[in-house]
Amino acid sequence: MRGSGLANPGAPDLNARVVIIGAGHAGGSAAAFLRQYGHTGPIILIGDEPLVPYQRPPLSKAWLKGEADADSLALKPADWYADNNCRLMLGVSATKIERAARRVVLSTGETLDYDILVLATGARARTLPLPGADLKGVMALRTAADAEQLKAALGPGKHLAVVGGGYVGLEAAASARALGAEAVVLEREPRVLARVACQQLSDFFTRYHTGHGVVFELSAGVEGFEGRDGQVTGVRLADGRVLPCDAALVGVGAIPNDELAQAAGLDCVNGVVVDLEARTADPAIFAIGDVTHRPLPLYDRMFRLESVPNALEQAKQVACAIVGRPAPPPEVPWFWSDQYDLKLQIAGMPFDADTILVRGDPATAKFAVFHLKGDLVQAVEAVNSPPEFMMGKILIGGRKPVSRERLADSSISMKEVAA
């Protein structure tokens, strides 16, 4: 049965039949928020993995190190879904959206009618089209299954080669060291975190990891993977060297899973284009999470974010729109990473920044890098520095001007800087 949404597509309707494609952090949270906000209509959650919605961030951190179990990863216990009239269809993917009929075709051949469709299809790990990339032991880290495979390959005496010096790669290298494995990070650019962090932070992380025994090969071209009996044994570099390894983790970014939306004629620009209600140009179709190209009102632009806070923010937006609550106020994008005893917290995006200012001393592993546009904070990258992160986030959201001199002086507290 459809709710009354049929007459007025996309209008708030507590009885609307909501189909969510993608049972990750975004999709699972959208279902939970809908029930929290009083939605009474059916919710159908379709996931291509065989697991109930779970958190991915611990897969490269606490879970990989054995400090978190599978139950703790799950967003909700398995029986929550049935108890809350959410039909979970796991191990199933959607193959087609029929917008005129408001119907989704599934990989099983089954079709599902919807009043509201939510695309939460996420992103997938980018792969490298290199010789040997199909060898056993050459892996990505995106899903719980990937993480199981990686964990099994780590341990004392094992060698992990990480292709790509991004956050996933560095977190995995740190976890590998904690498990007693050797780790080498191969990065094409002259510095790690080249796409996502400033030079100062790259230098700091390279030094810190080196101090923990991680080996770096920067400006390194990877030509392929060597193997024996179908199992990876090494990574071949452009300079002819072969670095031996038991496993090779490829962490070179993610690609939005927006093909389904594209095929349905929805506007996609490196992700599905949505507004601040998470709605596409089709009033009955929303998109949330890593798959979206979304407005960032603080920065006057559209962007695709890959983060849990983004997934949660948009899950709230879509739930509000469906039940007729006002849209929640836009949030400052933020991110975090744990490596060794380091807690990195990032608020904002360094768009249009003209100045980089370091507060504190990186040599103490407690410092923050501020990105300023004039006297406005655009972003802050804080290492073991919660006050800089928390107050930085407030300053970014409030577009409150600060004195650069005072901000650079770590003897002046963040509360005084912002006063």
The whole-angstrom separation of Cα 220 and Cα 165 is: 11
- Tell me how far, at minimum, the Cβ of 345 lies from another protein, in Å: 6
* Least distance to another protein, CB of residue 139, Å: 23
Site string for another protein, 21-50 (x = CB under 8 A): -----------x--xx--------------
Beta carbons within 8 Å of 270's beta carbon, 6+ residues apart: 256, 293, 304
Q: Does 391 bind another protein (CB under 8 A)?
A: yes
Minimum CB separation from another protein for residue 129, in Å? 34
Q: Binding of another protein at residue 185 (CB under 8 A)?
A: no
Nearer to another protein, 103 or 366 (CB): 366
SS3 of 159-219: the string is: EEEEECCCHHHHHHHHHHHHCCCEEEEECCCCCCCCCCCCHHHHHHHHHHHHHCCCEEECC
Nearer to another protein, 33 or 216 (CB): 33
Q: Which H or E run includes 95?
A: strand 94-98
For residue 197 the two structure tokens come to 């962090």
Nearer to another protein, 94 or 308 (CB): 308
Q: Report the residue from 386, 398, 405, 416 that binds another protein according to the rule CB under 8 A.
A: 386
H or E stretch at 359: strand 355-361
Q: How many CA atoms lie within 13 A of 3 on its CB side?
A: 24
Residue (74 or 106) nearer to another protein, CB: 74
Task: Tell which residue, 226, 238, 321, has the closest CA to residue 278.
Answer: 321
Q: How far is the CB of 290 from another protein (least distance, A)?
A: 15
- Work out whether 60 is an interface residue with another protein (CB under 8 A): no
Of the candidate spans 110-118, 179-187, 250-258, 385-393, the one that interacts with another protein by CB under 8 A turns out to be 385-393
Identify the three-state secondary structure at position 369: strand
Does 130 bind another protein (CB under 8 A)? Our answer is no
Return d(Cα 313, Cα 305) in angstroms, integer. 11
CA–CA separation, 318 and 291 (whole Å): 14
The answer to the question of residue 233 lying near another protein (CB under 8 A) is: no
The tokens describing 399, both together, are: 């577009």
Q: State which of residues 22, 47, 57, 122 lies at the interface with another protein (CB under 8 A).
A: 57
Residue nearer to another protein on the CB measure, 74 or 215: 74
Q: Is 14 in the site for another protein (CB under 8 A)?
A: no
Interactions with another protein, residue window 322-361 (CB under 8 A): 329, 331, 334, 336, 338, 343, 345
Q: Is 80 in the site for another protein (CB under 8 A)?
A: yes
Binding flag, residue 103, another protein (CB under 8 A) = no
| 55 binds another protein, rule: CB under 8 A | yes
How far apart CA 123 and CA 140 sit, in angstroms, is 13
Give the number of residues in contact with another protein, rule: CB under 8 A. 30
The DSSP code sequence of 100-151 is: TTTEEEETTS-EEE-SEEEE---EEE-----TTTTSBTEE--SSHHHHHHHH
4 or 72: CB nearest another protein = 72
Dmax of the chain from CA atoms?
65
Residues making contact with another protein (CB under 8 A): 32, 35-36, 55, 57-58, 61, 72, 74-77, 80, 84, 308-309, 312, 329, 331, 334, 336, 338, 343, 345, 386-387, 390-391, 394, 414
